[in-house]
């Protein structure tokens, strides 16, 4: 059974529900969160998650490639809510990931991600879970970090946020932050600043030392994100630019 055969009615039903439940009020409100033009049906996030959970019951027993194929069909639409559904489904089968899935997830980031919300949802959860299962792929993030695609570069950072918050992969966090240090894109700067803020939770002294070594060159956008939860004295020293 493949995602373009008998399973297509599931996608059709989802799209019918999304169209029926979307409102112009939410559509307009959602678009205000993005600088980019986005396609949205006009549903709030909890509604999208509810639909994702209900629909997943129909496919959870299918082989992992079939589920990922359905996710890709949702990604192709370009709609924010369908991307959210795809992220929910792919994360739901994280226990079945295989090394071959990296190419799939990389394709989703490079081809379909076109806003910060889709980037962060996919990378915080699905890509982060994949990297935890197969840490040999962590070095691939350095390649993402030099991509001409702004969302690939942001993805290189935000894919590490959850494990960084738990104290893992500090070396890789610093490696990615060094590559992105003076990136010209504010979405990328905010992404790696967020990653450093996450890493500072369990590794406050190490992250602070890293920041102090680079604060003269580090854009203030990233620096402010990174020090957001640090003690006031550390914030003051980091923002001073020089001792």
The pLDDT confidence band at residue 243, using thresholds 50, 70 and 90, is very low
In whole angstroms, give the CA distance from residue 232 to residue 47: 39
Is 102 within 8 Å of 137 (Cβ atoms)? yes
**What pLDDT does 1 receive?**
36
pLDDT at 4 over 50: no
For the beta carbon of residue 177, count every other beta carbon within 10 angstroms. 25
The pLDDT confidence band at residue 6, using thresholds 50, 70 and 90, is very low
pLDDT at 3 over 90: no
User: What b/e readout covers 146-169, taking b as 16+ CB neighbours within 10 angstroms?
Assistant: ebeebbbbbbbbbbbbbbbbeebb
Q: For Cα atoms 72, 161, 45, give the angle at the middle one, nearest 5 degrees.
A: 50
pLDDT at 208 over 60: yes
In whole angstroms, give the CA distance from residue 41 to residue 206: 44
**What pLDDT does 5 receive?**
42
For tokens 């990931």, what's the residue?
A: 97
Q: Is 17 helix (H, G, I), strand (E, B) or coil?
A: helix
pLDDT at 44 over 70: yes
In whole angstroms, give the CA distance from residue 106 to residue 124: 14
- pLDDT, tens digit (0-9, with 9 covering 90-100), for 121-147: 999 999 999 999 999 999 999 999 999
The pLDDT confidence band at residue 230, using thresholds 50, 70 and 90, is very high
Beta strands in 37-193 (DSSP E): none
- pLDDT, tens digit (0-9, with 9 covering 90-100), for 80-127: 999 999 999 999 999 999 999 999 999 999 999 999 999 999 999 999
In whole angstroms, give the CA distance from residue 190 to residue 104: 25
**What pLDDT does 8 receive?**
79
pLDDT at 30 over 50: yes
- Alpha carbons within 13 A on the beta-carbon side of 121: 24
- pLDDT, tens digit (0-9, with 9 covering 90-100), for 61-82: 999 999 999 999 999 999 999 9
Per-residue pLDDT, averaged over 208-217, amounts to 96
End-to-end CA distance of the chain: 64
Per-residue pLDDT, averaged over 170-193, amounts to 98
| Domains within the chain, CATH numbers bracketed | 1-112 (1.25.10.90), 138-243 (1.25.10.90)
Give the chain's mean pLDDT: 94
Write out the two tokens for 236. 């003051």
**What pLDDT does 221 receive?**
96
Beta strands in the chain (DSSP E): none
């Amino acid at each position: 059974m493949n995602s373009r055969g008998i399973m297509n009615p599931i996608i059709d039903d989802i799209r019918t529900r999304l169209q029926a439940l979307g409102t112009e009020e939410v559509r307009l409100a959602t678009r205000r969160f993005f600088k980019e033009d986005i396609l949205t049906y006009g549903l709030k996030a909890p509604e999208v998650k509810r639909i994702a959970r209900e629909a997943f019951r129909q496919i959870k027993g299918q082989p992992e490639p079939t589920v990922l194929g359905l996710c890709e069909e949702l990604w192709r639409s370009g709609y924010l809510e369908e991307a959210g559904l795809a992220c929910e489904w792919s994360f739901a089968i994280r226990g079945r990931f295989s090394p071959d899935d990296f190419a799939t997830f990389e394709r989703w980031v490079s081809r379909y991600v076109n806003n910060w919300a889709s980037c962060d949802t996919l990378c915080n959860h699905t890509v982060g879970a994949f990297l935890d299962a197969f840490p040999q792929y962590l070095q691939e993030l350095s390649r993402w970090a030099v991509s001409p695609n702004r969302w690939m570069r942001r993805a290189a950072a935000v894919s590490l946020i959850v494990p960084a918050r738990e104290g893992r992969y500090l070396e890789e966090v610093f490696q990615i932050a060094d590559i992105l240090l003076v990136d010209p894109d504010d979405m990328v700067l905010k992404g790696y600043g967020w990653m450093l803020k996450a890493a500072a939770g369990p590794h406050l002294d190490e992250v602070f030392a890293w920041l102090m070594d680079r604060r003269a060159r580090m854009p203030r956008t990233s620096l402010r994100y990174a020090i957001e939860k640090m003690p006031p004295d550390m914030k003051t020293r980091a923002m001073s630019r020089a001792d």
